Amino acid sequence: METQEKRKRIYSAMQPSGLITLGNYLGALNNWVKLQDDYDCLFCVANMHAITVRQDPAKLRKQSRDLLMQFLAVGLDPQKNIIYYQSHVPQHAELSWILNCYTYMGELNRMTQFKDKAAKHADNINAGLYTYPVLMAADILLYQADLVPVGEDQRQHLEITRDIAERFNNLYGETFVVPDAYIGKVGARIMALQEPDRKMSKSDENKNNTITILDEPAQIMNKIKRAMTDSENEVRFAPEKPGISNLLSIYSAVTGKTIAEAEKEFAGVGYGTFKTAVGEAVVARLEPIRTKVSDLEKNKDYLDAIIKEGAQKAERIASRTLEKAQKKVGFPPKIR
């Protein structure tokens, strides 16, 4: 008899579009690590999403493996969670096709990430970039996830996922769990260091805008020292002070102190002293992760075993949901 209450399921993913930034870490990954003990979790390397902008194949392959290693290095436990490559589970593409037929162009036209990326890659506005949110909905719905821990920038994609799921359920009866976004209180939106009016992003060409989790201590100190601030001399969180506010958010997220506590701590000190303290706190937090990655790099078989097992476990769950959806829309069952 089933006596234990079923644990809620968590699903999240990240694109292998470069090294994980402090934004990815504080906005998403760090929350994944905290949630892994209390939920059934799946974490995916979204390599199918990554090709919506042009990638170099060899580099994409390497970055995908690197991302998986970084997942492990920050503390995701492959015994507790399913960690896998999106492209290893064909059900993502298959469900995505079905959901495409239940998503309106009007809805996709409103997606701000599409508008941003289309502007940035004006020479390659492909259909995949446009239907990116539908593939993301398929990712989440395939696993009947209850909660999706992401940074603030993904809120709109979660909304459309919910709308698609509800539309499908209304038409055909309960098929998908309608997921909720899980967005942390601190670090949900880390801004670019030199342009604090836009988010820190893995694929940013200006490397001084981002701190990656594999940056050396000296690089981190340097980038923070060069971060844009303002002409005042007061460490205070305020909309008209985006640079200082961003550094305060970073400090608060890596140390666990509140913004108010941090403001108090740096009352009356200059920006130089403040920046040194932020840099040191970031270095202290990232240093163990860097060491762990270099250990994992030496262990090919261990990583391969995780990749193989992750794909098998994920496919088992995904195939059940896909079959259910196929049946609902009227596809005949396979004759076995």
**81 is an interface residue for ligand ATP by CB under 6 A:** no
Considering the candidates 6, 8, 34, 202, report the single residue annotated as catalytic.
202
**44 is an interface residue for ligand ATP by CB under 6 A:** no
DSSP label at 194?
Answer: S
CB atoms within 10 A of CB 254: 22
Residue 305 CA to residue 298 CA, distance in Å, equals: 14
Part of the chain binding ligand ATP (CB under 6 A), chosen from 148-156, 260-268, 271-279, 302-310: 148-156
**15 is an interface residue for ligand ATP by CB under 6 A:** yes
Q: Please spell the DSSP secondary structure of 25-45, one letter per residue.
A: IIIIIHHHHHHTTTSEEEEEE
Closest separation in Å from C-beta 49 to ligand ATP: 8
Closest separation in Å from C-beta 154 to ligand LTN: 5
Find the angle CA(92)-CA(31)-CA(183) to the nearest 5 degrees: 80
324 flagged as catalytic? no
Query: Pattern 115-144, binding to ligand LTN, x per CB under 6 A?
Result: ---------------------x--xx----
Strands annotated E in the chain: 9-14, 40-45, 82-85, 147-149, 180-182
List the 82-85 sheet strands across, edge first. 82-85, 40-45, 9-14, 147-149, 180-182
Q: What is the SS3 assignment for 21? A: strand
117 flagged as catalytic? yes
Alpha-carbon separation of residue 225 from 19, 75, 207, 229, 271 (angstroms): 21, 29, 14, 10, 9
- Which of 73, 193, 200, 235 is close enough to bind ligand ATP by CB under 6 A? 200
199 flagged as catalytic? yes
**189 is an interface residue for ligand ATP by CB under 6 A:** yes
150 or 293: CB nearest ligand LTN: 150
48 or 190: CB nearest ligand ATP: 190
Active site residues: 117, 199, 202
Residues engaged in binding ligand ATP (CB under 6 A):
14-15, 17, 21, 23-24, 27-28, 150-151, 153-154, 188-190, 199-203
Residues engaged in binding ligand LTN (CB under 6 A):
11-15, 46, 49, 136, 139-140, 148, 150, 154, 157
